Amino acid sequence: MSTIPSDQLTDPSQPQAGSGAPVIMPSQVAPTTRSNTLPQQGNTQPDSGSAVHSQDREPGDIALEKVNVVQVPPEGQSGTHEVPFKERVIGVAKKTRGTLLGNTELKEHGEQILQGNASVHDPPHTSN
């Protein structure tokens, strides 16, 4: 394997010593150019990415007409917001644990927590 002597290695950012010609940068010769076209978008699936999407849309554009408005009910009106999330997680865990272990009291306590009829701090009622 041959090695190049260190005196023959050159730095591309530095002018060549001994060449005599001054180094001219491309920006000194040609003006910068700007493109008014939008960049092409890459395909991730067949028949996708061939259309160029612009942030500037016309008022009659189809994309603006397909706006989906979702109305969220205020808190307290939906059944999922009656029980706080943390208590719902505990209720589901107790229900699952009771089901897997065959402990019907624990399963029923988890269901009552999910319905909002019992607290997570109250122990399940056991029949001894």
Which tens digits make up the pLDDT trace of 68-92?
Answer: 777 776 665 554 457 899 999 999 9
b (16+ CB within 10 A) / e for 4-22: eeeeeeeeeeeeeeeeeee
Tell me if 83 sits within 8 A of 113, measured CB to CB: yes
- The pLDDT, as a whole number, for residue 111 is 93
pLDDT surpassing 70 at residue 108: yes
Which tens digits make up the pLDDT trace of 10-59?
Answer: 666 665 555 667 888 887 888 878 777 776 666 676 666 556 555 555 65
**Sequence spans of domains, the chain:** 79-115
- The pLDDT, as a whole number, for residue 69 is 75
Cα four-point dihedral sign 119, 106, 87, 70: negative
Tell me if 120 sits within 8 A of 87, measured CB to CB: yes
pLDDT surpassing 60 at residue 63: no
Tell me if 97 sits within 8 A of 103, measured CB to CB: yes
pLDDT surpassing 90 at residue 112: yes
